[in-house]
Structure 1
């Protein structure tokens, strides 16, 4: 029983680490932000195309950044 309790607490620890590890990925440099905005103006919501211009970034990260920082509610 102790092993199953231990693995349960490990899963909780891993989950909390994953949440904090996602947050720094959404921190973009000024150059990256400028490039995202410029590329968006050129190609729209083609996140994979934009991510291809920024080494180490995924389309999901770019889209999440855009949705949290740049999109405006109408």
Structure 2
């Protein structure tokens, strides 16, 4: 019985690692996407939903998180 508890604990830990890895991969943007984000940001500022509307499959939250991770000036 202790063995099954340990096993499900490991599974939960692996699920957490896989989820974190999935979130990191979502922040991988192509060069074209990055260029478009920069250009749109210079035009419309932090209007993430407008920028996301130009990039199929991306949400405003993903773009904002990417921007803040990559280009944020506050440290």
2-structure distance, mates of 1:21, 1:73? 26
Equivalent in the alignment of 1:36? 37
| Counterpart-to-counterpart distance in 2, 1:46 and 1:3 | 49
**1:19-65 alpha-carbon deviations (Å, 9 max, x no partner):** 11111111111110111011111111111111111011111110111
Gaps of 5+ in 1: none
- What TM-score does the superposition give when structure 1 sets the normalisation length? 0.83
Number of residue pairs matched?
Answer: 74
**After TM superposition, what 4+ stretches of structure 1 lie above 6 angstroms from structure 2?**
none
Distance 1:55 1:35 in 2: 12
Q: What TM-score do the two structures reach when normalised by structure 2? A: 0.82
RMSD of the TM alignment (CA)?
A: 1.7
Greater CA deviation, 53-62 or 5-14? 5-14
